[in-house]
Amino acid sequence: MNECGASATAINDFLNLICGGVLVQTSLVQSSAPPSVPTFIGHTFATIESEESIRIASAFTFGREDLLPSVFEKIVDQLNSHNDGKLDIFRYYLNRHIELDAGYHGPMAEQVMESLCGDSLTNWHLVEVAARDALQARLCLWDGRHQQI
């Protein structure tokens, strides 16, 4: 954020609140996070708190690991062409993230899904519903951020 001149105030405020023992949702509100952020984080925590292994694994696999490498690749390409090297550290971070997700995390997450669901059509249906919910939550996050830009 420093490289591109963006304000880190809200993030720093959030981290200070968390370190002070304030709950995540409360910290998001108090740090003036954009409205779509607490909603997305709330969905993520609700998924975790469901304690449903298939739902959690599906949200992680298809809402993050399977999706984000291709999104990050587009971001890196745009950064590369528009910023004349000012964001080299951020580009390195994104490229490393792409490498880990595409090469390691994604395939391992898919193996977990196979192990959890096997041949059960019922379980694979649960995977589909959870993946759709996770992707919808992420879409709302991105739409909210886009509207603010």
Q: How confident is the model at residue 12 (pLDDT cuts 50, 70, 90)?
A: very high
Q: Judge whether 20 lies within some domain.
A: yes
Q: Which residues span the domain enclosing 25?
A: 1-33
Average pLDDT in the chain: 86
Q: Are residues 89 and 126 in the same domain?
A: yes
Q: Measured between alpha carbons, how far is 110 from 18 in angstroms, rounded to an integer?
A: 32
Higher-pLDDT residue of 127 and 86 is 127
Q: Judge whether 26 lies within some domain.
A: yes
Q: Judge whether 75 lies within some domain.
A: yes
Q: Are residues 119 and 84 in the same domain?
A: yes
The answer to whether 44 and 137 have CB atoms below 8 angstroms apart is yes
pLDDT at 35: 87
Per-residue buried b or exposed e for 71-82, using 16+ beta carbons within 10 Å of the residue's own CB: ebeeebeebeee
Residue matched to tokens 């108090």: 30
Q: How confident is the model at residue 70 (pLDDT cuts 50, 70, 90)?
A: low
Q: Are residues 57 and 123 in the same domain?
A: yes
Q: How confident is the model at residue 74 (pLDDT cuts 50, 70, 90)?
A: confident
Q: Are residues 108 and 136 in the same domain?
A: yes
Q: Are residues 51 and 29 in the same domain?
A: no
The answer to whether 57 and 116 have CB atoms below 8 angstroms apart is yes
Q: Judge whether 98 lies within some domain.
A: yes
Q: Judge whether 38 lies within some domain.
A: no
Q: Judge whether 54 lies within some domain.
A: yes
What is the value of pTM for the model shown? Answer: 0.77
Q: How many domains does the chain have?
A: 2
